[in-house]
Structure 1
Amino acid sequence: MKKNNGSSAGKVMLIDDHTLVAEGFKELLLNILPNESIVNVFSSIEHATKSLEKENYAIIITDLVIPGQNVLGFIAFCRKTYKEIIILVISSVVDANSIKACLSAGANGYLSKAVNSYEIKHALDCTADGKKFISSDLTGRLADSILFIENTTLTKKEMEVIRLIAAGNKTKKVAEILYVSPITIMAHKRNIMRKLNLHSATELVKYVYENNLI
């Protein structure tokens, strides 16, 4: 299989089962991408996967809901097989669980179908720089929470601890809930405070609520 060379210009794979929508989106992309870019449109994951074996794509842009297609599985496959490829999901599905699932599978960004060409260009620029991107109409507490979880250095256990503490549980109670000793919870708390550069329990609780973590 050919691997993506990470260049900003090149071939773009566009996956959408609505032909008219896809063709219109293709024209939009050609107006914002470098002149030498090529956009190939596919209506199924099967055909897209076969093309990936033959062509060197820099970017994949896909809808999330394509009848009969496992888009999340495709995203995970592409992330594992083509390490440097940029994967953007542009969909009318905008719930937090779907966004998190796509980012966890390996997507670099998630945009709603309500965005304009400027936002798509911004998304391409940001993801080319190695950043995660969520469109502005999904920003606020939802996007802050998703991006925090994606980019945080906290472990899964530390995330459990921070949520329980912010919910008002004392150290002893948190230890009982997680079946560990209070000393272990205190150690987790110290690590959390250090990683997030926080200095008090009040700051910790404020941080959790500001980032919509519970």
Structure 2
Amino acid sequence: MNASPGIPEGKLIVLDDHQLFAHGLRLLISRRFPRCDVAVFTTIEAAKEELSRSRVEFLLVDPGVHRQEMAAFVADCLNDYPACRVVVLTLLTDLNVVKKYLEMGVVGYLSKTIDENELSIALLQMLQGNRYVSSDINSRLINTVIGREATLLSDREIEVLSLMVAGKPAQKIAEMLFISPHTVVAHRRKIMTKLQKKTTAELIQYAVSNNLIN
């Protein structure tokens, strides 16, 4: 795959006690973003040491079996290294855990089931200052937050709604989802009908007031 110029020169830390996965992820990211210096650590202590001596652009962590220790570590990182973008990358997709970390201030929550393309999109989005939740988790999160009404929405409508909440205009949504702007407008109209909202502003306000995050 072609390398992307989006990630600047800088360090990315992968903290994961599954060494095979972690080193595979390092190779994947290094291939896609060759200017990114990827370091792998299997212990919190080693990651702390690296954070104390280097400027780190991204910290990817997996709460794994050390949930309490990792939560405390993430909280410390967010407080001590505000320039570091902390991202959870895990198989742990319980929505209570997802919401906990998002409320703490992580910039991303990604499932380990995502593909290479979505990982690249996520890193680029977060680099630009946006929050990113992987599509599989985000669909469930939206359905949970906005209640039973959201079960009426199709997967595509949920994707469109998520991007609307993120502030993306119709043209950008169309580009990201590989559909036409006209189709985006049609989806938006259907969403507003199903959720009984009369204007786009009202729809966005409804989503924000119900703590939609993506």
- Determine if contact 2:8/2:35 at 8 Å carries over to the other structure: no
2:112 corresponds in structure 1 to 113
Rounded to whole Å, the distance in 1 between the matches of 2:111 and 2:140 is 16
Alpha carbons of structure 1 residues 64 and 23: separation in structure 2 relative to 1, 3 Å? same
Q: Is the 8 A contact 1:115 1:135 kept in 2?
A: yes
* Identity over aligned pairs, percent: 32
**How far apart are residue 8 of structure 1 and its match?**
3.3
When residues 83 and 212 of structure 1 are mapped into structure 2, their CA distance, relative to the original with a 3 A threshold, is closer
Cα distance in structure 2, aligned partners of 1:212 and 1:107? 15
Secondary structure of the residue that 1:131 maps to in structure 2? coil
Q: How far 1:141 moved relative to its partner?
A: 4.6
> Equivalent residue of 1:12, what SS?
strand
Distance 1:131 1:102 in 2: 16
Distance (whole Å) between structure 2 residues aligned to residue 91 and residue 134 of structure 1:
12
Read off the aligned partner of 2:127 and give its amino acid letter.
Answer: A
For residues 134-161 of structure 1, the C-alpha deviation after alignment (integer angstroms, 9 at most, x for no partner) is: 001123251473999xx99xxxxxxxxx
1: CA distance, partners of 2:35 / 2:211: 42
Q: 1:31, 1:45 → 2: CA distance?
A: 26
Residues 50 and 69 (structure 1), Cα distance of their counterparts in 2 relative to 1, 3 Å cut: farther
User: Using the alignment, how far apart are the partners of 2:74 and 2:26 within structure 1?
Assistant: 20
What residue number does 1:77 align with?
Answer: 76
SS at match of 2:109: strand
Q: Distance in 1 between matches of 2:67 and 2:135?
A: 30
Query: Per-residue deviation at 1:82?
Result: 1.2
In structure 2, the gaps of 5 or more residues are 1-6, 147-160, 167-199
**What is the TM-score normalised by the length of structure 2?**
0.63
Partner of 2:16: 16
CA distance in 2 between partners of 1:127 and 1:29 (Å): 15
> Which contiguous aligned blocks of 4+ residues in structure 1 show a shift greater than 6 angstroms?
none
Cα-Cα RMSD = 3.1
* Unmatched runs of 5 consecutive residues or more in structure 1: 1-6, 153-195
Paired residues of 1:87 and 1:108 also in contact (CA < 8 A): yes
Q: 1:121 to 1:143 in 2, by over 3 A?
A: farther
**Structure exhibiting the larger radius of gyration computed from Cα positions:** 1
